[in-house]
Structure formats: structure tokens, C-alpha cells
Amino acid sequence: MADSHPAFEEYCEAIFELEEDDLDVIQARIADRLHVSRPAVSEMVRRMAGEGLVTLDGGIHLTAAGARLAERVVRRHRLAERFLTDILGLSWAEAHTEAGRWEHVLSDPVEAAMNRLLGDPTTCPHGNPIPGSAYTTPDTVVLSCVAVGTSFVVTRIPEELEFTPGLLEFLEEAALLPGTRGEVTATSPEGVVTVCIDDRHIGIGSFASDRILVLAEADAEAVAV
């Protein structure tokens, strides 16, 4: 029953992704993420606890069953994003929104076929790990920790940023995509990090620069920007 309930899937996914981004899972955050009222969240998490998907002692936590459901939905979301960008050529932002629908309707055979076609990808186009793939966590730091004059390679735009209105469009326009090389050229006291990518200088506000994960290059000279 719980397996085929889109609302349960949405909630399990949201809780999984908040935990993934190291955010405390509280009702207000779920309400923000899903654009629903706090009373609605309170009612739904109570129902989910009844279904054995979450526990509510000392915060909201997925049970093993809740985590399984979340991983299935997150896996389909991230595979669908890959398919929508790599095969169909949609923009990042379009893919994120569209995948929010596909994640609930993909069947096991379609998911498996998509995975085969894409060659067992380990991340979504934004660099977030696909559950059940061979992903290994790289040794990353947040962009705001990279010293001026240091080169970096973007590895991951956390899910929290995917949900920030307009941000994916901005990052895509700025070419701040996983795999992109750049260099930090300045930082401001307000936390704005200026990066140079392909001879363009782009200011990244603190909300994003405190969250975007990069591999910093020890030797800036070694990287051809």
C-alpha cells in the first residue's frame, strides 16, 4: 500500500534529501520543501508513522522501510534527470522539475532499461549520488573554503540548491556544472566568492558557495582553466 502512494513517496524523498544535506528533519523544513502547510505535514508524518515509514521520537527519521521507499524514488528521480538532460537535451532546471513527476511513474523494467542506456551512471546531472549505483564519495570541500588563487573542479550541487528558485538556471548559465574547472579569484566579507570559469568572472553568493561541493586543486598550475 505505502509503496504506491505518491504523497508518501514525496515525503520519504524529502526527508531522505534533507538528511543527505545534513539538515535536521523538522516539520517546517518539510513544509518548505514540499510547499505544503505545517498542519498538513504534521498530519502526514503521523500517518507515515502509522504505516511504519518514519519514527517520530527526537525528530523525524525514516525507518528501514521508509529509507527503502525513499531510495527507490530518489534513484528514479536522479536517473530520470540524467535521461532528460543527456538523452533528451533538456536544461538542468527543466529536468529537475520534470523528474519530480517521472519518479512516481517509472516501472522496474523502464528504470532498468534507462539505467542500461545511460551506462550505469553514479550521479544525477547535478552530481548527487544515485542510490544503488557504484558511487564513491570524493574528497570534497565547499566552494567558500577554497582559498583565493586555488583551482577547483565542481563535483556536486546539493539537492537543497536544486530546490532554490532560479539557482539551477543561474549555475547552468554560469557553467558551474559538475566537471567544470575554475579558479577562485576573490572573496568578499559578505561571503561572495568570485570564480573565473572560461575567462568569465562570476560572483557566487554565500548561500550557494557554502553548499556547492568542489575538489580543490593543491597546485593551481596543474590545472588548465
Q: If binding is defined by CB under 5 A, does position 211 make contact with Zn ion?
A: no
CB 16 within 8 A of CB 128: no
Beta strand segments in 60-142, E = 61-62, 141-142
Residue 4 CB, shortest distance to Zn ion, in Å, is 24
Binding mask 71-90 for Zn ion (x = CB under 5 A): ----------x---------
Closer by beta carbon to Zn ion, 75 or else 126: 126
C-alpha cell read off for 146? 577554497
Kindly report the backbone phi and psi dihedral angles of residue 196, in degrees, each rounded to the nearest multiple of 5, phi listed first: -115, 120
Closer by beta carbon to Zn ion, 21 or else 51: 21
Question: What Cα–Cα distance (Å) separates residue 179 from each residue in 89, 212, 215?
Answer: 18, 13, 10
Q: If binding is defined by CB under 5 A, does position 70 make contact with Zn ion?
A: no
Stretch that binds Zn ion, among 21-29, 39-47, 123-131, 170-178 (CB under 5 A): 123-131
C-alpha cell read off for 116? 542500461
Q: If binding is defined by CB under 5 A, does position 146 make contact with Zn ion?
A: no
Residue 104 CB, shortest distance to Zn ion, in Å, is 16
Question: What Cα–Cα distance (Å) separates residue 37 from each residue in 70, 154, 165?
Answer: 21, 35, 19
Q: Which of 33, 126, 156, 211 binds Zn ion (CB under 5 A)?
A: 126
Stretch that binds Zn ion, among 102-110, 118-126, 181-189, 211-219 (CB under 5 A): 118-126
Closest-CA residue to 53 (of 37, 41, 42, 69): 69
Residue 196 CB, shortest distance to Zn ion, in Å, is 25
Residue 175 CB, shortest distance to Zn ion, in Å, is 17
Closest-CA residue to 149 (of 183, 180, 122): 183
Residue 161 CB, shortest distance to Zn ion, in Å, is 10
User: Residue numbers of the site for Zn ion (CB under 5 A)?
Assistant: 81, 124, 126
